């Protein structure tokens, strides 16, 4: 598998761009009346489903033996016997897409049972192709990228995601925002977890925190961030929760311990 990673990565990059072009074309004639509600304030469109079907079909040709974990579940999901599987979010940032607001992405990761092997994120509105494979570095449109060298949280640009499960996370999010507001360069929230992870990877931002999302929201972007020299963990500073998306703390590594301390205090204030 490791010998084939470069070939697989090249094919996945081309597929992500193709899928992104499909999404961009659909946005021009998008019919908002066909949007469905999965849960409170969590939407899915016919574009998500059609894009996933296209991506899954092509990934089957790239690596026939691999299984799938996908957001829209248009394909049978992996079982315990699957050695390799794709983790696919065909349209990360659906709410942004519906409202014609950047960013929104195609995200594809390949992983084994124990590790993520490659990640590709195509941010449609900026035509930015982020990619990485294990041990091969991280890239944006073919150019190497690296996390920022920011060591001062007071000067750091922070992104916080606000979960759909407001009842479960409102207090924590407000506490963390309150702790950081006025004590960092600024706070943003852009509505696409994969994009935010890639922005940390490329040094555009320094910190990203979100909870109560899903594996397909983080797998590709986390691979890219780690290859760019960054750090990803859960709130406790371990990898126990982040791969599930339950708790994601992503930084340039230099700020990680300080951010975890802010999170701990925000949790204790609940």
pLDDT one-digit tens code per residue, 98-114: 889 999 999 999 999 89
Nearest to 20 by CA among 139, 143, 121, 138: 121
Per-residue pLDDT tens over the stretch 206-255: 999 999 999 999 999 999 999 999 999 999 998 778 999 999 999 999 99
CA dist., res. 158 & res. 187, Å (int): 5
**CATH number assigned to the domain covering 153-268:** 3.40.190.80
Give me the sheet containing 105-112, strands edge to edge: 67-70, 84-92, 105-112, 116-123, 128-133, 138-140, 143-144
> Who's near 104: CB < 8 A, 6+ residues apart?
23, 91, 92, 93, 94, 96, 97, 123, 124, 125, 191, 192, 195
pLDDT of residue 169: 92
Architecture in CATH for domain 2-144: 2-Layer Sandwich (3.30)
Pairing of strands 247-251, 105-112: unpaired
Q: Where are the domains of the chain?
A: 2-144, 153-268
Specify burial of residue 104 (Cβ count, 10 A radius: 0-12, 13-18, 19+): buried
pLDDT at 44: 59
**pLDDT tier at 42 (50, 70, 90 boundaries)?**
very low
pTM of the entire predicted model: 0.94
Other beta carbons within 10 angstroms of residue 28's beta carbon come to 7
């Amino acid at each position: 598998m490791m010998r084939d990673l470069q070939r697989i990565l090249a094919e996945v990059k081309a597929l992500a761009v193709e899928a992104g072009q499909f999404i961009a074309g659909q946005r021009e004639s998008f019919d908002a009346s066909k949007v469905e509600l999965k849960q409170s304030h969590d939407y899915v469109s016919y574009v998500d489903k059609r894009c996933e079907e296209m991506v899954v079909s092509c990934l089957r040709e790239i690596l026939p033996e691999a299984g799938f974990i996908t957001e829209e579940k248009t394909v049978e999901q992996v079982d315990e016997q699957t050695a390799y599987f794709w983790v696919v979010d065909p349209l990360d940032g659906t709410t942004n897409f519906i409202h014609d607001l950047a960013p929104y992405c195609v995200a594809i990761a390949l992983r084994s049972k124990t590790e993520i092997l490659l990640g590709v994120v195509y941010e449609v509105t900026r035509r930015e192709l982020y990619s990485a494979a294990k041990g091969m570095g991280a890239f944006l449109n073919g150019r190497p990228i690296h996390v920022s060298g920011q060591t001062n949280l007071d000067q750091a640009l922070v992104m916080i995601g606000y979960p759909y499960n407001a009842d479960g996370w409102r207090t924590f999010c407000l506490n963390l925002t309150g702790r950081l507001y006025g004590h960092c360069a600024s706070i943003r929230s852009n509505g696409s977890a994969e994009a935010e992870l890639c922005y940390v990877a490329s040094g555009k931002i320094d910190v990203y925190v979100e909870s109560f999302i899903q594996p397909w929201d983080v797998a590709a972007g986390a691979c890219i961030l780690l290859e760019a020299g960054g750090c990803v963990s859960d709130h406790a500073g371990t990898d126990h929760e982040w791969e599930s998306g339950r708790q994601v703390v992503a930084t340039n590594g230099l700020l990680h311990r300080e951010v975890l301390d802010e999170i701990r205090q925000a949790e204790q204030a609940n």
